[in-house]
Structure 1
Amino acid sequence: MLRRSVIGPRRRSNPAKITYYEDLSPGTGALAPRAAFRSDARTLSLNGDWDFRLFPTAAHAEAAEQAEGDGWEKLPVPSHWALHGHGAPQYTNIRYPFPVDPPRVPTENPTGDHRLVFDLPDDWPGPDEGAGGRTLLRFDGVESCYRVRLNGRELGTAKGSRLPHEFDTGPHLLRRGNVLSVRVHQWSSGSYVEDQDMWWLAGIFRGVTLLHRPEGAVRDVFVHAGYDHRTGHGTLRVDADPGGRVTVPELGLTLATGETVTVPGVQPWSAEVPRLYEAQLAIDGERVPLRLGFRTVAVEDGVITVNGRPLLLRGVNRHEFHPDHGRAVPYATMREDVLLMKRHNINAVRTSHYPPDPAFLDLCDEFGLWVIDEADLETHGFTYDDWRGNPADDPAWEEALIDRAARMVERDKNHPSVIMWSLGNESGTGRNLAAMSRWIRDRDPHRLIHYEGDRSCEHTDVYSRMYASHEEVEAIGRRAEKPLDDPRLDARRRALPFIQCEYAHAMGNGPGGLTEYQRLFETYERLQGGFVWEWIDHGLRARDAAGRPYFAYGGDFGEPLHDGNFCADGLLFPDRTPSPGLLEFKKVVEPVGICVDAAARTVRVTNKYDVIDLAGLAFGWSREVEGRRVAEGALEVPPLGPGESAEVALPEAERVREAGSVAQDDADGEEWWTVRAVLADGTAWAPAGHEVAWGQARARGPAATRTPGARITPVRAPSSPSLDGAITLGPGTFDPLDGGLRTLHGLPVAVPPRLNVYRATTDNDRGPDEETSVAAQWHRHAVDRMRHRCDGVTVDGESLVVTARVAPPGGFFGLSVVYRWTGEQTGDATRLDLSVDITPDGEWPCPLPRLGVAMGILAPLDWIEWYGGGPGESYPDTRRAARIGRWATTVDGFQTPYVFPQENGSRGDVRWAELRGPDGGGLRIEGRPAFALTARRWTTGQLEAARHPADLVPGEVLHLDLDVAHHGIGTASCGPGVLAPYELRATRTRFGVGFTLPN
């Protein structure tokens, strides 16, 4: 009889009907967990094409087996069957996609039979050859429950999808004609503890291997390699079952297992210097290679330290994901992930929310990343019933949960990159989490324990939170957070270090607020950084009815219950293209601070690394005028140690000229100095010259808008329209009734410039709450449906003046606008200027999405060059990665293809932009002051209505937004909204733009 939960009754179904995939055990027949290691013993990969057939229920599978039915197809292993035409994926964030009645699952339980017929290699050792030993069958990952049979004999069952299980093949393995049968159930009791904000994808998704274990083979090995930063000595002990000898050739060491030795002068392992020593464990009949990383993890004086150095975690959460293969991620893709992380200044990974493929941890050891290794546990769906019946507190689940902790720790205990064990994610609290913590602490007391859900920190070594606001994080940094009711626990927690295990939700356009978080992390010693949610968008590659490719999210497969595009919340697009959010994060978390003071001709350089000095970096300066480099050179920076700073002089003006000009110098133009830090030599993760950090400052203001000495003649506007009913002013013609611009420098104007305050909402605008989000406010107050009223068109000598009011239907507030058009003639060139004067009236109840003018040009203008922020998009609170320069791209290149279309592509701080067509003709736009530019082949309404980028069909009109201001982005899709300095409020505003022909 199953025991009831102690935190509230829950009806249980008839226990007599519970099957092996519904019982609460972690499985039957699997061997005790052990470390993942390779050896010189024989192995045979069973990956490849298997026979496969899918049944709608487990009963159908059983009936087909009894009838010896056919219907087999081929399926690759590893894989998820839903990604190969068998059934469909389903995405949910929190809610279970089946009735919550633990441990029971629906009758409609897709069940996949996998079958492989194989022979052993001729030289496979076996008892018939006197070799002895045994052969194990290893599965590294199967979702969610499976039963294994070999040649008709059952070897066992297992649950724990992201965990390894090994079975002894015993006497059942044949030399020829082996039939391996694996029945996989999509739903099981294990599904209740695997509710991890991801696609539900069943199958054998990691490798399957036969392992020969010689007589007396290594059953397990545990490496203990510490480092004493005070003496510079390492300590080494290798425990093994059975015992043997360990050699470390580079260190000249030979020691017995179980023996502890001191290693003088060893180089420690860290994420910045991932020093590994090759070693070997030798016993009779087997050799096991080991990679040793000497390091010691501790909490000292309330701070996480490794090798005596405090850490600042610049981390990401990483689900395993590939747009074609789901969680069956190829090794090359894992390696690409690690290289991308290193190249974008990321130094830490939380393996959300399960242990990753062990090969990923090998890569973290090799290239250097701090890792929080997380148990395969999440019960988030129980929150909808106030955690009633939560497995984390039900003693009936204790064995299953401890098994998940044990299999993680035993498999991954020899990775120096792993510095914390996490009990799981969003599983409430309870006795089983406490039991998991005790088990881990007993087995491995030399790593820290993490679990965000334990707000009291009674069972953890760090205080961890998700999406805490900047204000709360600062209070925690000052150790002034709201106290716990229990004084003892409060004092303990207040003495612990703090991390944000999730923050800055990277969904769609964003996240904003990164700079302010990082400033707090770098200010308060207790705040030791965090992990952005998350690494990659979980979009599955698909095609629509017209054959156009797109990345699918929840609901695109007809699921009755889903959470839409909430799975598209990463710093990488599904194809692993870096998003603007990743480029912003790289800039914000730079490990080298470069503060350029152009007026004083100095640069302040700060080493923000945890461990290394700056000797491995080369610094260079450049001087740009109007976006063109006019001089450059090397900058001598001392090899500063961690935390050290130095002020370095920039070259004097005379020396700059001596350095040699690489472009025509413009003495009247806007001048900027840029200092870059790059790798002096190639590393394992990036080539020499890879940019690590940069800083920039303006030395001289913008060039005068008028060329000195040029003869400028104002163009007078006619007092009455021409015969064709238009008002001509310089290079523009206007409608006399509403003052709308019809043509500009001969280009047809399809949408006359007029005030625009709306943008296609972002995921962060919409947020999780449809009632309180800023997008809801905009829609409630009809900001997306503003009406334009022309109050007058007058010709005032040299100006055409249009007065108007812009207001929402039903609203008692609006914006009064005065558009003033003027024309000028300078030699043969003509210019049309627009100044806009905006005065709010009434009381605006919400922020403005944007403020600027929108217009549309009916012309094939496809190339854009601009001087301003770039090369990628930027918004008020996501602009750290944008540097001032001269940039160019196509209109298509101006778009950011978010998985769910939304406001995107704005380039900020634009001084001027030139639009050109294939014939070389076009238009130049100059801002007064600088403006933000977007350029699209579709309207804002079409962008807002689209659900996938493929829905956006380019039209003939080029739609431009010339914005003087934008509301910030924030991270309200899951976290804080836009910070006060980045809110756009209706206020008196003046700005202007000028239109000329391209230079």
Structure 2
Amino acid sequence: MTDYLAGFAPGAGRLGPRAAFAARSPRIDLNGRWRFRLSPTAAGAPVDADFSGWDELPVPGMWQLHGHGGPAYTNVTYPFPLDPPFVPDENPTGDYRREFEVPEGWGGRGGVLRFEGVDSCFRAWLNGRELGFSMGSRLPVEFDVSGALVAGRNVLAVRVHQWSPGSYLEDQDMWWLSGIFRDVVLLATPVLRDFFVHADYGHRTGQGRLRIETSAPATLTAPGLGLADVVPGDLRIDGVEPWSAEVPRLYDGVLRCGGEDVPLRIGFRTVAIEDGLLKVNGERVLFRGVNRHEFHPGTGRALDEATMLADVLAMKRHNVNAVRTSHYPPHPRFLDLCDEYGLWVIDECDLETHGFSRVGWRGNPSADPRWRDALLDRMRRTVERDKNHPSVIMWSLGNEAGTGENLRAMAEWTRGRDPSRPIHYEPGQDAAYVDVHSRMYAPVEEVERIGRGDRHPGLPFVLCEYAHAMGNGPGLLAEYQELFHTYPRCQGGFVWEWIDHGLAHPEYGFGYGGDFGEDPHDGPFVIDGLVFPDRTPSPGLLEFKKAVEPVRITVAESIVIENLHDFRDLAHLAFVWTLEEEGTEVARGALDVPPVAAGGRAEPPVPALPGTGAETWLTVRAVLAADEPWAKAGHEVAWGQGRIVPAQAPARAHAAQSPGVFGDDGRLLRVGGVHLVSGPRLDLWRAPTGNDAGGPAPHAEVWRRAGLHRLRHRVIDVERAPGALTVRTVAAAAGHDRAMFATYRWQALTGDRLRLTVTAEPRGEWDFPLPRIGLRLALPAAFGTVEWYGRGPGEAYPDSHRAARIGRYAMTVDQMQTPYVFPQENGHRADVRWAVLGGRLRIEGDPVFGLTVRRWTSEDLDAARHLTDLTPGDAVHVNLDLAQHGLGTAACGPGVSPRHRLRARPVTFGLTFRDASL
């Protein structure tokens, strides 16, 4: 019987929702290997079927990742017809069986069977007795099994459907995966079924107010609070330390009820909206946040604690202070870690109906009263499960579910149950039931208008999604952050998103939409994280860390230290400095910085520095003075850098004899003993980034229509003179009369140097930005190393370069590449003064240039769809750029800002070449 798959009821036979906690009472962990069989329709296997010959499947786990069917990715589009509440007859259904033993000493207490997460709908039987069914994939479900549980052998049967009416409420931007993907546990029927901790902090008095609602009479013991076996009615406690994301002070306690102990952790904090600002403990907070899906490349949404902890530690180490749990409540253990290590959390309900936008929101569940119980059920289960976490400072009704009275009902219920936390929803900026003005991907110009008071001036403003981290990017992070610091109402945002959702693939390494044969799909749009699928930080995360530093260090004529923390002073940090002459350290020391209060600043004296003769930079770093739970002493939190001595202009005396050898067409063939595979020529093309290909008028399409990826070059004339050569050329694409005229002037200089001055001038209509303007050349494949003095060690682009500091670096060509799952422009090093390739060819800027070195061409990179498509050839390909176009965030958001757009205009730039081995 599958009537529940054709109705609106969220479940039957379930116990009411309650907080997530672990009492010190009997429990049986049911995770492990379960018997499993997949059927093509909802009927499934008979409940009493012999399952001895079935496959085995891990629980937690997702069956598509263990050879049963395949994963599918869509962003907005439902992978089934919009016919709510009905789903197709082709409905893969997994039957699970698990045998377990209950000891005789269980004590006759009965039991509660708890499922933390099952996607998308399931029905359960214990020893042949039906327990009920439930929807709401990322929310816990409990059944009272007292009447079915027996001492000795028990058989648990669970039928899981891939599609259900609940699927209409779970159209989040992620992989469609199915199964019992979170923990399953059998609990002895609890004596204390539920409790609600209210722990407020008076920021003016330093007093904590503690009240705990309990489902049965209980006493509290909390040694750190001086409490022993007290009734936790309404307690006033002087001198408590407040909880915040910066200093996450927790007090351990134990609730005792009927001989049962329940451990709990108490964090005192008060959340309020005052004067149009969101405040915690009386202070405005600034979210340096990320959106976090639960994801692992091998296990999908089935995460173990080690993976959750790895996320939290990486966030803390990269100055992330907030998480929006997009777009569902996470595993409860993740919130425990947020409490412990310190992260602000917007806890989001398991609700998204984005696909209804494809049909003008016709039939959207948010506005259909038949769905009201289901939406309210999801909100209740979210709030009740997570209500005791101090890290949770806002509830979110869900994401991109349109508008409607069901959302209002959710908000009203939540406000009545827990008035201590504000309510968030997007799109909800025009709805009366939200407490914050939330937007996605608002351009910086709009954010500034909002900061000045435009729209809903009585509400704090939060960018719940911004800076889409797809591939190479995002740009604009520093611009947004400056607005957050300038306008108090603009209280930060949450980058989309934390991790690339690249699933392990036998051929490609990591696969994305379409790589598993699914249709429809949304391709690599799921590869949009600040960390790669294996959780390696991307350049975007390093840029974010720099942009959101909680300490701003300015190094110029003076040194200025600004404390941008919301609560914490600087006593936990040490400040160290290094002096580098042309990238080589010549001195170091420590700065004496007082423990500046949050919001304050200091100007420590500039240290006595030795004299230097070449370009010299002073770098000041803020590092942890002692171990923190999330990083060791010495971990870098922030840094600033200033130039103390400018670069000296090189001597340019002319030589009569050129160290270069040129072909008849004026192309450079050799510098000293270095033979070029191909000499430098004008280059305007880059393999488009994910952001280049995004937006309503993608730059990548404009560039292709203009033929920038297939320019043809023609030599107009070659003039030779002693120690000099001038080559005039034109570059243009087929089918159009626009062109770029370029003149190459070569001059021999003393010291066996060869100087090149390039002048480029556009002719015709160039009404679009260029990807890049510079030179391209190729060297023998043996040139496998790069040393340079400039920004590094990682890549940098015009609107994403603050994480790269001036220094001297050395890498192999392979290390210069950034392994974006979907290949695209990468690896550009900015503001390079000089570089030595292969230990032989030295190239100097006038004064600087951009450097990219690869074992494949831009065309190879553009044609590739996976990293495995990129095969090293017989040359090393080098780009020497005057400039590149910015990155922006147009894959989902604003494009490149005007000041970072590369316009076609007359330009002149110079480079000097020599054989470094001579």
TM bucket (normalised to shorter chain) is over 0.9
1:595-634 equivalence runs, <5 A: 595-597=554-556, 600=557, 602-634=558-590
Distance 1:944 1:965, change over 3 A: same
2:1 is aligned with 1:21:
no
Match of 1:981, as an amino acid?
Answer: R
CA contact (8 A) 1:668 1:704 kept: no
- The Cα shift of 1:810 comes to 2.1
* Alpha-carbon distance in structure 2 between the residues aligned to 1:178 and 1:715: 95
Q: Does 1:38 align with 2:12?
A: no
Q: 1:263 aligns with which of 237, 247, 251?
A: 237
Task: Look up the match of 2:619.
Answer: 674
1: CA distance, partners of 2:575 / 2:329 = 39
2:652 equivalent to 1:700: no
Q: Which residue of 2 aligns with 1:793?
A: 718
User: Aligned AA for 1:785?
Assistant: R
Q: Does 1:914 align with 2:829?
A: no
Shift of 1:18: 6.8
**What's the offset of the Cα at 1:122?**
4.8
One-letter amino acid matched to 2:164: S
Partner of 2:510: 551
Aligned pairs (5 A) from 1:396-545: 396-481=370-455, 493-544=456-507
The one-letter amino acid of 2:83's match is D
Q: Which structure 2 residues correspond to residues 649-688 of structure 1 after superposition, within 5 A? A: 649-651=605-607, 655-657=608-610, 667-688=612-633
1:194 matched to 2:170? The reply is yes
**CA spacing shift, 1:768–1:550, aligned 2, 3 Å:** farther
TM-fit CA distance, 1:934 = 0.5
Query: What is aligned with 1:847?
Result: 769
SS of 2:520 mapped into structure 1: coil
- The answer to whether the 8 Å contact 2:38/2:94 transfers is yes
Q: 1:949 aligns with which of 867, 872, 884?
A: 867
- Contact between 1:365 and 1:417, CA under 8 Å: does it hold in 2? yes
- Provide the residue aligned with 1:272 in structure 2: 246
Q: Deviations over 1:799-845 (max 9, x none)?
A: 1111001122222322111111222342xxx2222211112222312
Superposed, 1:305-384 pairs within 5 Å as: 305-384=279-358
Letter in 1 for 2:447: V
1:206 aligned partner = 182
Aligned position for 1:965: 883
> Is the CA contact 2:781–2:873 (under 8 Å) kept in the aligned structure 1?
no
1:648 equivalenced with 2:604 (yes/no): yes
Is 1:890 the counterpart of 2:812? The answer is yes
User: Could you tell me how far apart the structure 2 residues matched to 1:68 and 1:614 are?
Assistant: 65
1:313-345 residue CA offsets vs partner (Å, 9 max, x unmatched): 000000000010100011001001000000000
Give structure 1 stretches of 5+ with no counterpart: 1-16, 127-132, 482-492, 658-664, 717-728
Distance across 2 between alignment mates of 1:552 and 1:478: 44
Structure 2 residue 208 is matched with structure 1 residue 234: yes
Distance 2:318 2:827 in 1: 21
Distance in 2, Cα, partners of 1:310 & 1:381? 36
The question of whether the paired residues in 2 share the 8 Å contact of 1:969 and 1:978 is answered with: yes
CA distance in 1, matches of 2:909, 2:898: 23
In structure 1, the residue corresponding to 2:106 is in which secondary structure?
Answer: coil
1:184-227 C-alpha deviation (Å, 9 max, x unpaired):
0000000000000000000000000000125xx00101000000
Please state if 1:873 is matched with 2:795: yes
Deviations 1:39-77 (Å, cap 9, x if unpaired)? 111111000001001111113x24x55775775101110
Q: Is the 8 A contact 1:511 1:971 kept in 2?
A: yes
SS at match of 2:729: strand
Q: Which letter maps to 2:656?
A: V
Distance 2:229 2:82 in 1: 54
**CA distance in structure 2 between the aligned counterparts of 1:734 and 1:121, rounded to whole angstroms:** 88
* Secondary structure in structure 1 of the residue aligned to 2:716: strand
Q: Which moved more, 1:68-77 or 1:979-988?
A: 68-77
**What RMSD in Å do the two structures reach over aligned CA positions?**
1.4
- Following TM superposition, by how much is the alpha carbon of 1:255 offset from its aligned partner in structure 2, in angstroms? 6.1
1:761 aligns with 2:679: no
Whole-angstrom distance in 2 between the partners of 1:932 and 1:255 = 68
Q: Is the 8 A contact 1:239 1:257 kept in 2?
A: no
Partners in 2 of 1:404 and 1:256 — Cα distance?
Answer: 34
Aligned AA (1:34): R
Q: Is the 8 A contact 1:715 1:822 kept in 2?
A: no
Pairing 1:114–2:101 present: no
Deviation per CA, 1:367-411, whole angstroms, max 9, x where unpaired?
000000000000000001111110001000000000000000000
> Partner residue of 2:129?
153
2:638 equivalent to 1:689: no
Q: Match for 2:145: what amino acid? A: T
1:18–1:104 Cα contact (<8 Å) kept: no
CA distance in 2, matches of 1:677, 1:927: 32
For 1:40-189, list aligned pairs within 5 A.
Answer: 40-59=24-43, 61-62=44-45, 71-126=53-108, 133-189=109-165
Q: Distance in 2 between matches of 1:814 and 1:779?
A: 15
Give the SS at the match of 2:561.
strand
Q: Output the CA distance in 2 between the equivalents of 1:942 and 1:212.
A: 61
1:937 to 840, 845, 855: 855
SS at match of 1:766: coil
Map of 2:595 onto structure 1: 639
Number of residue-to-residue matches in the alignment: 917
SS of 1:316's partner is strand
Please report how far the alpha carbon of residue 923 of structure 1 lies from its aligned counterpart in structure 2 after TM superposition.
1.3
- Per-residue CA deviation, residues 278-306 of structure 1 (Å, 9 max, x unaligned), is 01111112010110000000001110100
SS at match of 1:973: helix
CA shift, 1:124, in A, is: 2.5
1:782-812 C-alpha deviation (Å, 9 max, x unpaired): 1222121110111023211110011222223
User: In the TM superposition, what is the alpha-carbon distance from 1:768 to its structure 2 partner?
Assistant: 4.1
Distance (whole Å) between structure 1 residues aligned to residue 534 and residue 6 of structure 2? 37
Is residue 286 of structure 1 aligned with residue 263 of structure 2? no
Q: Equivalent pairs: percent with the same residue?
A: 57
Q: Is the 8 A contact 2:578 2:589 kept in 1?
A: yes
Q: Which amino acid aligns with 1:150?
A: L
Determine the C-alpha separation between the residues in 1 that align with 2:74 and 2:633.
43
5+ residue gaps, structure 2: none
TM-score of the superposed pair, with normalisation by structure 1: 0.90
Asked if 2 retains the 8 angstrom alpha-carbon contact of 1:876 and 1:966, the reply is yes
Letter in 1 for 2:655: P
Q: Which residue of 2 aligns with 1:14?
A: none
Cα distance in 1 between the residues matched to 2:160 and 2:166: 12
Pick aligned residue for 2:270 from 296, 311, 319? 296
- Work out the CA distance in 1 between the residues paired with 2:173 and 2:136: 16
- TM-score, with length taken from structure 2: 0.98
Q: Matched residues in 1 for 2:496 and 2:53: separation?
A: 43
Is 1:743 aligned to 2:684, yes or no?
A: no
1:752 aligns with 2:715: no
2:782 maps to 860
Name the CA distance, whole Å, in 2 between partners of 1:620 and 1:779. 49
